[in-house]
Amino acid sequence: MQIVVEESSMGSTEESGAVAKMKKVYEKVSLLVTSNAVVVFTISGCCMCHVVKQLLFGLGVGPTIVELDRDASGHDIHRLLFQQQPVPAVFVGGKFLGGIETVMACHINGTLVPLLKEAGALWL
């Protein structure tokens, strides 16, 4: 995942505040995804989020789950980072894997489990 912040285009102090805020949110997300093998960003009551969580639980993975509508800074994370990426957003080994389609596709083509093992989320 790459977030490009164009500071040069930010003029007023209000906009600079937005940049600072975005950086803070980005740092928080970076720390979350790099310090946990598997992170799933969800919204409570989202059906596909439930599916992806059940799939991971079924494989024996205990993902870190961030509920964007419950977490205190979840609204900011959602607004700033996931406007283009609907939930669930799954990170494995500090890298953005994808949404439900990608996770399912990887599960079906057999690349999900090796990926989880590589990330240290699975031992067997």
Ligand X SMILES: *[C@@H]1O[C@H](CO)[C@@H](O)[C@H](O)[C@H]1NC(C)=O
Question: Which residues in this chain contact ligand X in the complex, by CB under 6 A?
Answer: 102, 105-106, 109, 111
Nearest to ligand X of 44, 111 (CB atom): 111
**Rounded CA separation 75/11 (Å):** 25
**Rounded CA separation 90/114 (Å):** 16
Task: Report, in Å, the least distance between residue 105 CB and ligand X.
Answer: 4
Nearest to ligand X of 17, 86 (CB atom): 86
Nearest to ligand X of 77, 103 (CB atom): 103
Task: Report, in Å, the least distance between residue 101 CB and ligand X.
Answer: 7
Q: Is the Cβ–Cβ distance between 42 and 88 less than 8 Å?
A: yes
Beta bridge partners of 67: 42
